[in-house]
Structure 1
Amino acid sequence: MADHKPLALVAGAGAGLGQSLLATFEEAGFEPVGIGRTRPDTTIGAFYKTDLSDEVQMRELIGSLIATHGAPQIVVHNAAELVIAPFAETTLHDYQRTWASMVQSAVLLAQGVMQPMARAGGGTFIVSGATASLRGGARFSAFASAKFALRGLTQSLAREYQPAGIHVAHVILDGIIDTKRSRVLHSLDPTKMMSPNDIAAAYVALARQPKSTWTHELDLRPASEGF
């Protein structure tokens, strides 16, 4: 395993930010591996289709990746499940699937990688948050409740694993990410959206921070975005 490039693992490596992360990590000298529920039409590096909320699938896949590549140096949780509906029309199933997609998947990912990373001397674990991580808007009760929980989980992981050399960071993406789908849905000027490549560059910068100046929470937004 000493001859391998260090592993960069992205959970939720769909088209858009997920693939930009893999491409940027590859350029930075890492071995990019993506996992997710749906395989993109094109992918950077290896991609493994898996249910991120399934305990058995995640345990087996992460165990196999670590056996092949060693403990990852960078891990990103980038999974999301967006539900937008009035509270009276939001079902219990809506809450369960948003929590499974975002919170349960992050728990399983962390359970698979944190101890191996600690034994290997450390690394970086980054969680993609959103505006809803800080503010629950009308019609976003399912999404915001899961994002709030994800933020709390990330804080707990940071306080537990930072002494073991693992840099745990939560990144609030306060804006619409520029993808083909978002351009169709929102009809926005791309200069007013978040560039996936620029977000990915910020993630690499987090992974390269010296231990004397670790950032736990970083908020990113376009210059035109109010806050």
Structure 2
Amino acid sequence: MATTALIVGAGSGLSASLARLFAQEGFKVALAARQVDKLKILSQEIGAVSFAADATKLDDVNRLFRDVEQILGVPTVVVYNPSWRVRGAFVDLSPADVAKTLEITAYGGFLVAQAAAKRQLELGEGAIFFTGASASVKGYAQSAPFAMGKFALRGLAQSIARELAPQNIHVAHFVIDGGIRSHSRVEPEEKPDSLLDPDAIAQTYLHILRQPRSAWTWEVELRPWVETF
């Protein structure tokens, strides 16, 4: 398989860990975000190429894939990472905020996956990965929009995994069930490893990517020991 990886919704945290790991493993890495200024340091660090794109806009997505293909080659690994969260009492939710949540969390995933699948089908191989959350399988109180978006993204992943696996495209959905460690979010000393390490999550993405086709995983759940399920 060729080694071009595209991470949509790139930034700090998990997407940065994925970018670094892919680069270490010899992938050419493309990073896409609405604001590329935040990607400058990471791109320089790992030799990635950054692209400005809004994943909810069809023209942006089509242009993104054309540009990536021209500069780095067809992305044979595509990771969809964006999401948007709105919280509040159900009766107080703004319909506009709900629509934005669904657009970013789910509809953008459809646009990116469709663009990726069209190219990977021509190649006869590829992988499309979606980053989910606790809300992918559990609808929490006062979090209806996020649950709607993440449930939709999971349904998309399951549907196209069944459709595209026979055509040698590995689709997988990752339920990230818990908080992710960052510079601004650290676990208390009395609860070591109570937050997910983004580098450890990235290792799981790589493991799933390298699975033999005879034993593919379409979904995996990752959580620290403090989480109930």
TM over 0.5: yes
Aligned-partner Cα distance in 1 for 2:219–2:176: 11
Question: Who is 2:23 aligned against?
Answer: 26
Question: Who is 2:64 aligned against?
Answer: 61
Aligned-partner Cα distance in 2 for 1:190–1:170: 27
The alignment status of 1:75 with 2:72, answered yes or no, reads no
Which of 171, 193, 196 aligns to 1:194? It is 196
1:179-190 equivalence runs, <5 A: 179-183=182-186
Q: Give unpaired runs (5+ residues) of structure 2.
A: none
Residue-by-residue CA offset, 1:10-56 (whole Å, 9 max, x unaligned):
01111111111100111111011110123326223122122111111
- Aligned-residue offset at 1:76: 0.5
- Aligned-residue offset at 1:180: 2.4
Question: Who is 2:206 aligned against?
Answer: 204
Aligned-partner Cα distance in 1 for 2:5–2:203: 14
Aligned-partner Cα distance in 2 for 1:106–1:119: 20
Superposed CA RMSD: 1.8
Q: 3-state DSSP class of the match of 1:194?
A: coil
- Aligned-residue offset at 1:96: 0.6
Q: 3-state DSSP class of the match of 2:156?
A: helix
Residue-by-residue CA offset, 1:128-181 (whole Å, 9 max, x unaligned):
001100010001100000100110111111111111100000000000011124
Question: Who is 2:42 aligned against?
Answer: 43
Give yes or no for contact 2:178–2:196 (8 Å, CA) kept in 1.
yes
Identity %: 34
Which of 3, 7, 10 aligns to 1:6? It is 3
Give yes or no for contact 1:8–1:25 (8 Å, CA) kept in 2.
yes
Aligned-partner Cα distance in 2 for 1:8–1:68: 12
Question: Who is 2:134 aligned against?
Answer: 131
Aligned-partner Cα distance in 1 for 2:223–2:26: 27
Letter in 2 for 1:48: F
Letter in 2 for 1:212: S
Aligned-partner Cα distance in 1 for 2:59–2:192: 40
Letter in 2 for 1:211: R
Letter in 2 for 1:43: L
Question: Who is 1:144 aligned against?
Answer: 147
Aligned-partner Cα distance in 1 for 2:185–2:163: 37
Question: Who is 1:218 aligned against?
Answer: 220
TM-score (norm 1): 0.92
Q: 3-state DSSP class of the match of 2:193?
A: helix
Give yes or no for contact 2:193–2:225 (8 Å, CA) kept in 1.
no
Letter in 1 for 2:59: V
Residue-by-residue CA offset, 1:173-200 (whole Å, 9 max, x unaligned):
00001112434xx878562100110000
Q: 3-state DSSP class of the match of 1:177?
A: coil
Letter in 1 for 2:81: N
Aligned-partner Cα distance in 2 for 1:204–1:187: 29
TM-score (norm 2): 0.91
Aligned-partner Cα distance in 2 for 1:148–1:187: 31
Taking a change above 3 Å as real, the CA distance of residues 195 and 65 of structure 1, as seen in their structure-2 partners, is: same
Which of 96, 103, 118 aligns to 1:93? It is 96
Letter in 2 for 1:37: R
